[in-house]
A and B are shown apart, each in its own frame.
Chain A
């Protein structure tokens, strides 16, 4: 386990692209945190100039339909994206990992049930399932519903991967040894097996993260996203009309670029991570 962290650190120190990705992600997180505590761009609701002012020295990102700063909205949107990304990851990953570990280890009826559960969920077109959940969840529309819906639909691939890996590893010597030394099932699962699948979890977590923030944009466009708060999806939805009708490109460009950069950073990060882990497996 410590060994793994060491390898990741070494690899990232060598790989410039991966380092850049880490810097970008840290920057986004910082911006999101500062926005959360109200230091960065608290003026996102206020009109600070004429409607549709193009980018200028005073407002480098321009102003929107109500004269609000596109930059401030962008920063607040970062906050939403990070909340969606992290909370759905924190729902999906523990859920997928636990179910994967249990079903792969115990097999039998538990396994059959888990496999049935995820093949059912997997068969349903995700976007329709998401929308259905957003329509019927008792939390009503908004951020919480988006996070829950994304969380409970995106654990499937994690679960499947972990299950497969546990089935393979539980016949390995270290597990057999632990068992013959009298370790309980729980101990074998969480003390012995879990650290050996943690690399899969890491990769999966960053995949779920990227998937969630991309989905938020589409859900917002379809009208079931975040309410009463700027998000990148809402900004793109606004911009859709003003772009064609009035040639207002700045809000669209800003939101698209912010989303693109964050997702790109995660993709690069993910690639570097995979390289380390592939090397580890060999």
Chain B
């Protein structure tokens, strides 16, 4: 098992380097000289030369790239051009608000999707299943942006059931999070219900289930003891793979609901062409994705030893 993990981690290294290379090309080569951005309107040519030197932008490109990778390895993302703050600190600040939305929303949406999928699978091809499938196809077709605007308008503004937007630390912040979480659930339900339903249906038609049923075991028992544990393998894999989406999935939600998290920070950075922040967010997102991938593979291997060997 550990050799498997080590192998997977080693495989991640070229991908990480690829990401740094891509970011370097995008922002350092194509993105233009940051010195103009940093010095503002009234910079003299001498100042520009000085600053270029100070930032190491007059070094050969390979050297600049190595500097960049080196700073990433030290977990140093530099300072924001816009706020002059350390990017690492900005990220630390935004982490908690983001997580306070993303983690409950993620857990809730997964649970709701599983319950609905299981219901649909149990009543396969009956009206309730058809209804659920139609609803989930419609859900998949709805734009997240439109969903947010409509829900915020109808439930928060018109009906007044929720605060329109805002965020607070601690328990007082709970009311602010309910509506964004509900929207998150609604938006993610469509595709995941369909996936889980397919998994459950496939599992329910396996021989062992059919045999167990033939032996006279009741559905609930068969479900809990046979179907669920086996279906957990593909489900867990999907869940783990979706984890990095927490990072950017909440970009629009945070923006609309005024949650001072990482998504909001990214939108601000984009509006201000604040490259260091965008670069850092992209890199961290990628690292999370790779980590989740490795964890997903490891889980898979743990559940299904055949994978380990191949």
State which of A37-45, A196-204, A255-263 sits at the interface with chain B.
Answer: A255-263
Contacts of A227 in B (CB 8 A): none
CA distance A120 to B290 in the complex (A): 9
Binding site for A on B (CB under 8 A): 14-15, 18-19, 22, 26-27, 30-32, 137-138, 140-146, 149-150, 152-153, 157, 244, 247-248, 251-252, 266-267, 270-271, 273, 278, 281-282, 285-286, 289-290, 293
Whole-angstrom distance from the CB of B226 to the nearest CB of chain A? 25
State which of A48-56, A90-98, A129-137, A156-164 sits at the interface with chain B.
Answer: A129-137
State which of A27-35, A64-72, A174-182, A238-246 sits at the interface with chain B.
Answer: A238-246
Binding site for B on A (CB under 8 A): 116-117, 119-129, 131-133, 135-138, 214, 217-218, 221-224, 233, 236, 239-240, 243-244, 252, 255-256, 259-260, 263-264, 267-268, 271
Contacts of A267 in B (CB 8 A): 137, 140-141
Whole-angstrom distance from the CB of B9 to the nearest CB of chain A? 14
Contact across chains for B19 and A123 when beta carbons are under 8 A apart: yes
CA distance A216 to B273 in the complex (A): 20
Contacts between the two chains (Cβ within 8 Å), count: 114
**Minimum CB distance partner of B29 in chain A:** A136
In the assembled complex, 17 residue pairs joining A and B whose CB atoms fall closer than 8 Å, in A order, are A120-B15, A121-B22, A123-B15, A124-B19, A124-B282, A125-B285, A129-B282, A135-B31, A136-B31, A138-B30, A222-B267, A224-B270, A236-B145, A236-B146, A243-B149, A244-B152, A264-B138
Known: A236-B146, A256-B143. 16 other contacts (CB 8 A): A123-B290, A125-B286, A125-B289, A128-B282, A136-B26, A214-B143, A217-B145, A221-B252, A236-B145, A236-B149, A239-B149, A240-B149, A259-B143, A259-B146, A260-B138, A268-B137
Contacts of A218 in B (CB 8 A): 143-145, 252
Contacts of B278 in A (CB 8 A): 128, 131-132, 135
